[in-house]
């Protein structure tokens, strides 16, 4: 299978891009085959809400991977055990058997290089190789996602380091951007090589940079995208993913634009649980919003778009989803929030009513249908969790809630009228 040349980036800023070592295409039909993927979140970069057992009984001072490595005496042994057990070949086979074709693998920069006396513990990088081997064995494709940058690109705990107000994420200050580019080059030097193009079909430069909170704003992010794209292109034409940075995808039309540059795809994340107004919606209204909101990320763009994160959640009830020791908006325990409903049974799928199961299934089906009609595909978050079934593909599959088979959904136009 050959990679179809993609409409991609660079009008506004000039980019010096080296000629790739070779022009062989990755083994995925971008443009004709929809991505049907799932994230392997919480594996090579900890997120407290995905694996709360790792963060319990630590006096509330350990809130992210930075503080975990800094404060937990046996952190190295715990991480090693987690890396060895959280994902397996059996998981890859289950993903493949459910009709998926791609896994997105988040990883932090420190897996490849540490800076400025970081407390992070290294050792995660070799598991990318293990994952690629499992993907090759099961027929899945891999999208490598740099999920955490030095000093944090967004201040979220999922970047590895939580930044609390009034502080702001420091990624664009000092030498952090150059450090990130050095890590991108290390990743590209290995995984953009021809020997990996049968499995590694994209490299994402950085997950969710929060441009509005960063020194230099969109200008700094744009220059990073230009330079990071150039780093990958020094090696090959492996596709480059860039986050929309919480902006309308059309904002990026003037950045790395066609016809001068190709092989760039916008990664948009679509959730309905972090906005108080959206939490007020009924299940039917959540589905309707899926249908009416797609123009905001799927129209007026000169690049392909993929929904690289989304979920089955209509509440933010997942424990620690908003941060360790921070409650949910839905039940009113988040600071300055107003209660919408109860979280009592949301995290216990065995207590779900048939109506909740049906509503969740219809919500997931509507998203898949719209994403496949309007974009190049989707990547569900997450493959599993310890205690958050709205976000847990495996639990949703095991309880006959996640729609199967996937091929039945892309043409179901009636989903947007329910």
Residue with tokens 């997105």: 104
Q: What band does 258 get if pLDDT is binned at 50, 70 and 90? A: confident
Angle at 63 between CA 59 and CA 67, to 5 degrees: 90
Q: What is the pLDDT of residue 177?
A: 98
The verdict on whether 208 is a catalytic residue reads yes
Q: What is the pLDDT of residue 87?
A: 98
Could you give the count of Cα atoms lying within 13 Å of 51 in the half-sphere of its Cβ? Answer: 22
Integer Cα distance of 298 and 249 in angstroms:
8
Q: What is the pLDDT of residue 6?
A: 30
The one catalytic residue among 309, 372, 376, 390 = 309
Integer Cα distance of 222 and 12 in angstroms:
9
Q: What tens digit of pLDDT does each residue of 70-92 get?
A: 999 999 999 999 999 999 999 99
Q: What is the pLDDT of residue 20?
A: 55
Q: What tens digit of pLDDT does each residue of 42-74 get?
A: 999 999 999 999 999 898 899 999 999 999 999
The verdict on whether 70 is a catalytic residue reads no
Integer Cα distance of 96 and 140 in angstroms:
7
Q: What tens digit of pLDDT does each residue of 263-276 get?
A: 999 999 999 999 99
Integer Cα distance of 162 and 325 in angstroms:
13
Please check the confidence at residue 410 and state whether its pLDDT lies above 70. Answer: no
Q: What is the pLDDT of residue 19?
A: 54
The one catalytic residue among 208, 270, 376, 390 = 208
Please check the confidence at residue 165 and state whether its pLDDT lies above 60. Answer: yes
Please check the confidence at residue 9 and state whether its pLDDT lies above 50. Answer: no
Q: What is the pLDDT of residue 193?
A: 97
Q: What is the pLDDT of residue 408?
A: 84
Summary mean pLDDT of the chain: 93
Q: What is the pLDDT of residue 116?
A: 87
This prediction has a pTM of 0.93
| DSSP-assigned beta bridge partners for residue 143 | 104, 202
Q: What tens digit of pLDDT does each residue of 269-320 get?
A: 999 999 999 999 999 999 999 999 999 999 999 999 999 999 999 999 999 9
Q: What tens digit of pLDDT does each residue of 131-149 get?
A: 999 999 999 999 999 999 9
Q: Give Cβ neighbours of residue 2 (< 8 Å, ≥ 6 apart).
A: 25, 29
Q: What is the pLDDT of residue 260?
A: 83
Q: What band does 259 get if pLDDT is binned at 50, 70 and 90? A: confident
Looking at residues 213-227, what average pLDDT do you find?
98
- Cβ atoms of 69 and 77 within 8 Å: the answer is no
Q: What is the pLDDT of residue 409?
A: 76
Which helix H or strand E contains 188, and what residues bound it? Answer: helix 176-191
Q: What is the pLDDT of residue 24?
A: 64
């Amino acid at each position: 299978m050959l990679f179809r040349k993609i409409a991609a980036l660079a009008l506004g800023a000039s980019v010096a891009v080296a000629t790739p070592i070779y022009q062989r295409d990755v083994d995925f039909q971008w443009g004709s085959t929809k991505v049907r993927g799932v994230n392997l979140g919480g594996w090579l970069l900890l997120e407290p809400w995905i694996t709360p057992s790792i963060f319990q009984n630590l006096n509330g001072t350990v809130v992210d991977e930075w503080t975990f490595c800094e404060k937990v005496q046996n952190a190295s042994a715990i991480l090693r055990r987690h890396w060895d057990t959280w994902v397996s070949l059996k998981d890859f086979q289950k993903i493949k058997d459910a009709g998926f074709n791609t896994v997105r693998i988040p990883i932090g920069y420190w897996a490849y290089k540490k800076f400025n006396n970081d407390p992070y513990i290294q050792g995660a990088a070799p598991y990318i190789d293990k994952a690629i081997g499992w993907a090759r064995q099961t027929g899945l494709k891999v999208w490598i996602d740099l999920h955490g940058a030095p000093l944090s690109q967004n201040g979220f705990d999922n970047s590895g380091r939580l930044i609390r107000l009034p502080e702001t994420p420091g990624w664009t200050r000092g030498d952090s951007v150059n450090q990130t580019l050095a890590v991108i080059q290390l990743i590209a030097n290995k995984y953009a090589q021809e020997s990996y193009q049968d499995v590694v079909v994209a490299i994402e430069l950085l997950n969710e940079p929060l441009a509005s909170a960063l020194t230099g704003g969109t200008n700094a992010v744009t220059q990073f995208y230009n330079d990071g794209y150039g780093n990958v292109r020094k090696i090959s034409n492996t596709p480059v993913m860039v986050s929309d940075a919480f902006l309308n995808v059309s904002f990026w039309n003037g950045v790395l634009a066609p016809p001068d540059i190709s092989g760039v795809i916008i990664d948009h994340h679509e959730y309905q649980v972090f906005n108080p107004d959206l939490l007020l919606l009924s299940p039917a209204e959540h589905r309707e919003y899926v249908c009416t909101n797609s123009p905001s990320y799927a129209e007026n763009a000169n690049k392909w778009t993929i929904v690289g994160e989304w979920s089955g959640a209509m509440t933010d009830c997942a424990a620690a989803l908003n941060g360790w020791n921070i409650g949910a908006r839905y039940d009113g325990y988040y600071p300055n929030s107003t209660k919408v409903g109860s979280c009592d049974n949301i995290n216990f799928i065995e207590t779900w009513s048939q109506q909740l199961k049906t509503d969740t299934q219809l919500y997931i089906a509507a998203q898949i249908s719209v994403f496949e009609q309007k974009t190049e595909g989707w990547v569900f978050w997450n493959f599993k969790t310890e205690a958050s079934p709205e976000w847990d593909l495996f639990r949703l599959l095991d309880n006959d809630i996640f729609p199967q088979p996937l091929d039945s959904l892309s043409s179901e136009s009636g989903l947007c009228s329910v």
